[in-house]
């Protein structure tokens, strides 16, 4: 079967191969944007990120307005992540087997249609909670396909030496989108209506789809005809199982995705009922998280050395837990805003290093399946959010969030204990050692 690989030089446009090699020695983190194919992926990814963060806050506020139940908001986020758990491993296998561009563009078209239908349903019908959950699930299917394919295409687009910069810039843009995204969501819900958040989201994703469709691909031959998708999934699981560096990284992913949905789902409730904030002020809190994440991502893209990638990843997750715990007990809006701003730096360290680390330590032929395993772990973490409803009922918003964060801290320490490579320096020898160990099994 002939698959497709993103052209590293985009049909050798004017920059040429020699300049491509010169990019490696340039100091600016933004030099990677001179690669035309990556630049197009970056633009489409940035537009998608704007809508994801708009939706992230909008769905929390709208669900809380609809149900007046923080547990219902938490369950909405469980549904939002569930398709990653169901389909993550298979999407990763498909990414390694078929044309990643077609999968990516198709997912974006599906998301566009779903947002449009959700916006119309809110505008013209008396939408029920169960109907909202159906739309959330459909959207999550689209995003679960979009995520691993876009990340794998980035890895195919840039040389390994520039991968840290590329992921850093991509996540800096994602973090930057966390500033206008929540502000737009809060403003639209407060002054116009929730339906406009989704109608505008559909339009933005449509533009992202158009940009993604212009990415140039070159065919490459891979011997996949005799390997079923199920066997590819099994091969991917076996590869991850015997690579302890990957297992440690995925363990940290599970911890973060245990804590983040709890924090994110309780933000609207704590904002309204504890801090007495309106939807727009809650949007400001989300934007401050984005500002901290932007600054953190830019610093990482410019200064982080590969040898420190795993340590930054682990420490950033710990910092996120600490700042989220401080936010949980704050009852002053400005103090809460400061906690969330600082929390953004931890988010940046986790998010930037997560993809970079997994791609860097995986062999090229396994990247799609490893990212599928990542998607699976992201979907597995929020299942624990079902505890939010009972916790909030018995001990309140603040202590309920703190209990989940404490669980995360214990699991984070356990990850370092059982997989100590995650807190060691990421040397070339360490990568080779664990990669060879996985391949020989």
Can you give the residue ranges of every domain in the chain?
A: 2-439
The model carries a pTM of 0.72
- Looking up tokens 């020989």 gives 440
Report the share of the chain in percent with pLDDT over 70.
82
Q: Is the pLDDT of residue 151 over 90?
A: no
Residues contacting residue 192 through CB under 8 Å, at least 6 positions apart: none
Task: Evaluate whether 187 touches 283 at the Cβ level (below 8 Å).
Answer: yes
More reliable by pLDDT, 37 or 406: 406
How far apart CA 1 and CA 145 sit, in angstroms, is: 21
Q: Give residue 435's pLDDT band: very low, low, confident or very high (50, 70, 90).
A: low
pLDDT score recorded for residue 10: 39
DSSP state of 158: S
Q: What is the pLDDT of residues 366-423, one digit of tens each?
A: 777 777 777 777 777 666 667 877 888 889 888 999 999 999 999 999 999 999 988 8
How far apart CA 30 and CA 351 sit, in angstroms, is: 18
How far apart CA 355 and CA 349 sit, in angstroms, is: 11
Q: Is the pLDDT of residue 433 over 70?
A: no
Orientation angle between helical segments 180-191 and 279-303, nearest 10 degrees: 170
Q: Is the pLDDT of residue 211 over 70?
A: yes
Q: What is the pLDDT of residues 244-268, one digit of tens each?
A: 888 888 899 889 988 988 898 888 8
How far apart CA 129 and CA 133 sit, in angstroms, is: 6
pLDDT score recorded for residue 128: 93
Orientation angle between helical segments 100-124 and 194-212, nearest 10 degrees: 160
Triad 147, 288, 271: Cα angle to 5°: 100
Q: Is the pLDDT of residue 177 over 90?
A: no
DSSP secondary structure, 341-387, as one string = HHHHHHHHHHHHHHHHHHHHTS-GGGHHHHHHHHHHHHHHGGGGGGG
Superfamily of domain 2-439 in the CATH hierarchy: MFS general substrate transporter like domains (1.20.1250.20)
């Amino acid at each position: 079967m002939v698959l497709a690989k993103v052209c590293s030089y985009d049909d050798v446009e004017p920059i040429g191969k020699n300049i491509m090699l010169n990019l490696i020695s340039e100091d600016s983190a933004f030099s990677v944007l001179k690669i035309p194919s990556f630049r197009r992926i970056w633009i489409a990814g940035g537009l998608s990120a704007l809508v994801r963060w708009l939706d992230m806050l909008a769905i929390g506020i709208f669900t809380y307005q609809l149900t007046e139940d923080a547990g219902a908001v938490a369950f909405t986020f469980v549904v939002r992540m569930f398709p990653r758990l169901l389909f993550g491993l298979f999407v990763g296998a498909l990414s390694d087997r078929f044309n990643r561009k077609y999968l990516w563009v198709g997912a974006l078209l599906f998301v566009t249609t779903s947002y449009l239908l959700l916006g119309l349903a809110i505008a013209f019908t008396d939408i029920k909670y169960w109907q909202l959950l159906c739309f959330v699930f459909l959207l999550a299917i689209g995003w679960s396909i979009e995520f691993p394919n876009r990340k794998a295409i980035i890895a195919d687009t840039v040389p390994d030496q520039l991968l840290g910069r590329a992921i850093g810039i991509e996540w800096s843009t994602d973090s930057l989108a966390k500033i206008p995204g929540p502000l737009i969501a809060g403003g639209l819900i407060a002054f116009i209506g929730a339906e406009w958040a989704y109608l505008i989201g559909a339009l933005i994703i449509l533009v992202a789809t158009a940009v993604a469709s212009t990415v140039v691909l070159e065919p490459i031959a891979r011997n996949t005809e005799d390997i079923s998708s199920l066997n590819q999934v099994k091969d991917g699981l076996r590869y991850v199982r015997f690579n302890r560096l990957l297992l440690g990284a995925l363990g940290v992913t599970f911890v973060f995705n245990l804590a983040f949905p709890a924090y994110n789902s309780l933000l609207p409730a704590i904002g309204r009922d504890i801090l007495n904030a309106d939807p727009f002020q809650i949007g400001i809190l989300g934007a401050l998280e984005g500002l901290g994440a932007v600054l953190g991502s830019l610093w990482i893209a410019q200064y982080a050395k590969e040898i420190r990638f795993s340590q930054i990843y682990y420490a950033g997750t710990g910092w996120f837990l600490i700042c989220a715990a401080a936010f949980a007990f704050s009852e002053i809006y400005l103090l809460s805003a400061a906690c969330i701003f600082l929390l953004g730096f931890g988010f940046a360290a986790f998010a930037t290093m997560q993809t970079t680390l997994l791609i860097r330590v995986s062999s090229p032929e396994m990247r799609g399946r490893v990212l599928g395993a990542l998607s699976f772990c992201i979907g597995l973490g929020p299942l624990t959010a079902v505890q939010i409803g009972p916790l909030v009922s018995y001990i309140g918003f603040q202590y309920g969030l703190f209990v989940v964060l404490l669980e995360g801290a214990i699991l984070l320490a356990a990850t370092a204990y059982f997989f100590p490579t995650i807190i060691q320096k990421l040397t070339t020898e360490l990568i080779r050692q664990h990669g060879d160990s996985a391949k020989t099994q």
